[in-house]
Amino acid sequence: MTPSQNSHVWPDPAAMQRAEDVLLAAVSCAADPDARARLEALVPKGIDWALLLRLSKRHGIAPLLDAAISRHDLRRHVPSTVAEALSEAASTAAAASLLRDQAAAESVPALDAGGYRPIVIRGPVLAHEYYEDASLRPSADIDILVPPERWPDLLDDVHRWQHAVESVAFRVSDRRCDLPAHLDPARLNDPSFRRWLQEECVPWRIETASPWGILFEFHFDLFPHCPDDAGVPDLWTTAERVLLPGTTVRTLGQPELLIELCFHAMKHYAWRARLIWFCDIDRVVRRDATRIDWDRLFQRAHELGARTSVFYALKLAADLLDTPVPAAALASAQPSGMRARLVARSWPKYLRPLLRRVPPGCPFAHQWAADPWGALTSRFSLEAAVQLARALWPSRDYLYLRYGVKGALRSYLYHLRHLAKAPMAAAAVRRAQGW
């Protein structure tokens, strides 16, 4: 049985390789003539189109793939069912983009009026500033950075704006905690609870669902590994204003914009990396090439505790998408130490796993947490279950790419503990009617 017949059967390695080659060529062909030639040569060959479709959706690049195939008159080589699915994905992304813009146009001014000084990151800003059409860069939510000292007030205001609070993540005594979904607004009026939030907790993230059905993620600290807090307020002083449909918003200026994209991509690299995040890096580097001071970029990344992440994200983008990162700049920022030398020596093995960390047929993390036994038995073959376990438990090398030598082991143990507790936590959330 082939992957096209059953999405839960593990794909053939050769078929996976061909599908990956098509995806990499499709997302690069707008700026790279060599990628256009590769795409035109690859598409007429034997492609597992069902596998390619699933990969493109998982990596958030179905609209880019559809545009590339249409632009180069390759649709005649694509099965009609797959062509229709790609067109439908592109239409859905276009409709979602309009809805996302409407939500941003109404919510960002409300945040500004409340004194939150919101900084919109990734999503809509990248879509309008760095893509030919905003619908080519789909996103499931709107990420907004707000000052950490205002976070209890934000919980009040999002309820007033009729946002449904999905989750609240924070740290207490350096340990991360999550409040269950559907936080009771009346709980926020408890003075002792408010005092505890304000004095004992370090905010991490608040996720809400807006009346338009768009998810919002409010962030309070984009760079948790920053050695000190001295550089964080500069994010507001260096922020730039960009025009979105219906409103003007703040966004990160350079080099913080590129640093945050790299850090975000590597933050998820070991678990659920998506190719669209590296497409963002590629487009920002290509468009802002004259504005980027590479020495300043890596110096600022060091100040924010993200130098290792920035180096490896740029190297991955350069090797996968031919992103024009100066070789001299990468060489000067090469991490030192034995582990870094070992990673550099075996670098090719890190490229393809970017596309295969959670392969087609495997559940996302929330599906695993909600029903781990069902995910490993009824839905998947034994081979897929083994591969899923490998995807969920990343190697120390992958964590090194994200955290560096010192932080890898601690993070590795944290994620193992988190995954072990996930089924119990999911069961508790399902039982809870409120908090």
Per-residue tokens: 113: 């009026």
Residue-level pLDDT at 188: 64
pLDDT-derived band at 13, boundaries 50, 70, 90: confident
Q: Across the strands, what pairs with 249? A: 242
Considering only residues 205 and 395, tell me which one the structure prediction assigns the higher pLDDT.
205
Q: Is residue 17 domain-resident?
A: yes
C-beta of residue 90 within 8 angstroms of C-beta of residue 56: no
What are 78-106's pLDDT values in tens digits?
899 999 999 999 999 999 999 999 999 98
Q: Is residue 13 domain-resident?
A: yes
Q: What is the mean pLDDT of residues 336-354?
A: 68
Q: Is the pTM of this model over 0.85?
A: no
Q: Could you please report the per-residue DSSP string of 308-331? A: HHHHHHHHHHHHHH-----HHHHH
pLDDT-derived band at 427, boundaries 50, 70, 90: very low
Residue-level pLDDT at 329: 92
Boundaries of domain holding 26:
1-78
By C-alpha distance, which of 62, 51, 21 is closest to 274? 62
pLDDT-derived band at 226, boundaries 50, 70, 90: confident
Residue-level pLDDT at 66: 93
Considering only residues 106 and 185, tell me which one the structure prediction assigns the higher pLDDT.
106
Considering only residues 181 and 43, tell me which one the structure prediction assigns the higher pLDDT.
43
The pLDDT of residue 65 is above 90: yes
What are 237-256's pLDDT values in tens digits?
899 999 999 899 999 999 99
Q: Is residue 163 domain-resident?
A: no
Q: What is the mean pLDDT of residues 68-76?
A: 87
Number of CB atoms found within 10 A of residue 344's CB: 11
Considering only residues 425 and 82, tell me which one the structure prediction assigns the higher pLDDT.
82
Among the ranges given (54-58, 385-389, 424-428), the one the predictor scored with the smallest mean pLDDT = 424-428
Q: Is residue 55 domain-resident?
A: yes
Considering only residues 352 and 295, tell me which one the structure prediction assigns the higher pLDDT.
295
Considering only residues 52 and 5, tell me which one the structure prediction assigns the higher pLDDT.
52
Per-residue tokens: 222: 């984009």
pLDDT-derived band at 399, boundaries 50, 70, 90: low
Number of domains in the chain: 1
Q: Is residue 69 domain-resident?
A: yes
* Mean pLDDT rounded to a whole number for the chain: 77
pLDDT-derived band at 383, boundaries 50, 70, 90: low
Q: Is residue 190 domain-resident?
A: no
Residue-level pLDDT at 308: 84
pLDDT-derived band at 178, boundaries 50, 70, 90: low
393: three-class secondary structure by DSSP? coil
Q: Is residue 90 domain-resident?
A: no
Residue-level pLDDT at 208: 87
pLDDT-derived band at 363, boundaries 50, 70, 90: very low
Residue-level pLDDT at 174: 60
Q: Residue 426 carries which side chain, given as an amino acid letter?
A: A
335: three-class secondary structure by DSSP? coil
The pLDDT of residue 394 is above 70: no
